[in-house]
Amino acid sequence: MKTERCAILAALLWSCFAAAQGLPDTSSTPGGVAVVPLAGITRPQAYYNNARVMVVGKPDEWKAVVGIPLATRPGRHYLMVMDDGRKNRVPFLVKDRKFQTQYITLKDKRKVNPTPEDMKRIRRESKVLNAAKATWTASDDIPFAMTLPVHGITSSPFGLRRYFNNQPRKPHSGLDIAVPAGTPIRAPAAGMVVNTGDYFFDGNSILLDHGQGLITLYCHMSEIDVKEGDTVKPGQVIGKVGMSGRATGPHLHWGVIMNQVSVDPNLFVTKSKE
The Cα–Cα gap between 204 and 106 comes to 19
* Interior angle at CA 131, CA 207 and CA 258, nearest 5: 60
Q: Are residues 120 and 76 in the same domain?
A: no
- What integer pLDDT is reported at residue 12 of this predicted model? 45
The model carries a pTM of: 0.88
User: Which of 94, 118, 137 represents a domain boundary (last residue)?
Assistant: 94
The Cα–Cα gap between 47 and 64 comes to 9
Q: What is the mean pLDDT of residues 85-106?
A: 89
- Output phi, psi for 105, to 5 deg: -105, 125
Give the HSE-up count for residue 7: Cα atoms under 13 Å, Cβ half-sphere. Answer: 20
Mean residue pLDDT across the chain: 89
Q: Are residues 19 and 59 in the same domain?
A: yes
Q: Are residues 225 and 257 in the same domain?
A: yes
Nearest partner of 5 among 92, 65, 78, judged by Cα: 92
Given a contact cutoff of 8 angstroms between Cβ atoms, the answer to whether 185 and 252 are in contact is: yes
Q: Are residues 176 and 115 in the same domain?
A: yes
Q: Are residues 63 and 158 in the same domain?
A: no
Give the HSE-up count for residue 170: Cα atoms under 13 Å, Cβ half-sphere. Answer: 9
Which of 19-28, 163-172, 213-222, 263-272 is least confident?
19-28
Q: Are residues 180 and 125 in the same domain?
A: yes
Q: Are residues 217 and 248 in the same domain?
A: yes
- What integer pLDDT is reported at residue 137 of this predicted model? 97
User: Which of 59, 94, 129 represents a domain boundary (last residue)?
Assistant: 94
Looking up residue 80, the CATH number of its domain turns out to be: 2.60.40.1590
For the chain, the domain total comes to 2
As a whole-number percent, the residues of the chain with pLDDT over 90 amount to 73
How do residues 13-43 score in pLDDT, each as one tens digit? 444 444 444 677 778 999 999 999 998 889 9
User: Which of 94, 121, 155 represents a domain boundary (last residue)?
Assistant: 94
- Output phi, psi for 194, to 5 deg: -105, -15
Q: Are residues 198 and 229 in the same domain?
A: yes
Q: Are residues 184 and 68 in the same domain?
A: no
Q: Range of 227's domain?
A: 101-273
Ramachandran assignment for 128, one of left (phi > 0), alpha (psi -120 to 50 degrees), beta (any other):
alpha
